[in-house]
Amino acid sequence: MENSKILSYVGFATKMRKTVAGVNAIEHTKSKVELLMICKTASANTFKDAVKIAKKHSAKLVVSEVPIETIARKEHCKLLAILDKGLAEAILLNLSDRFYEYQGGVR
């Protein structure tokens, strides 16, 4: 499986307690957000909120074709923040065809 590295990195971040799941929780976190991962099936409002949060924290936004609910192991979750800089960089280096960086515009 190509995306197993990314899933492993997210799992490491979760074990280190360096992830925040959900739009409201991410908006209210006091920690620096290094990377945002959003589900491809997220609504337009969630995309708008994710772009706003990414600009606020100068973070990259990665769109995932794998459901974030599966990655984060949280039901109905469409947005996940990675707070660790090293793991965020590792995820960005290992992007595959199922994960891509959001460039803005029409999705």
- On whether the CB atoms of residues 81 and 91 are closer than 8 A, the answer is no
Write the CB contacts of 80 (distance below 8 Å, at least 6 apart in sequence): 10, 19, 20, 21, 36, 37, 38, 68, 71, 72
Which of 71 and 105 is assigned the larger pLDDT? 71
Question: Are β-strands 60-64 and 35-39 bridged in parallel, bridged antiparallel, or unpaired?
Answer: parallel
Sheet holding 35-39, edge to edge: 19-21, 79-82, 35-39, 60-64, 99-101
Mean pLDDT across 63-86 = 92
**Single pTM value for the model:** 0.89
User: CA-CA distance, 88 to 10, in Å (whole number)?
Assistant: 9
Evaluate if residue 25 carries a pLDDT over 70: yes
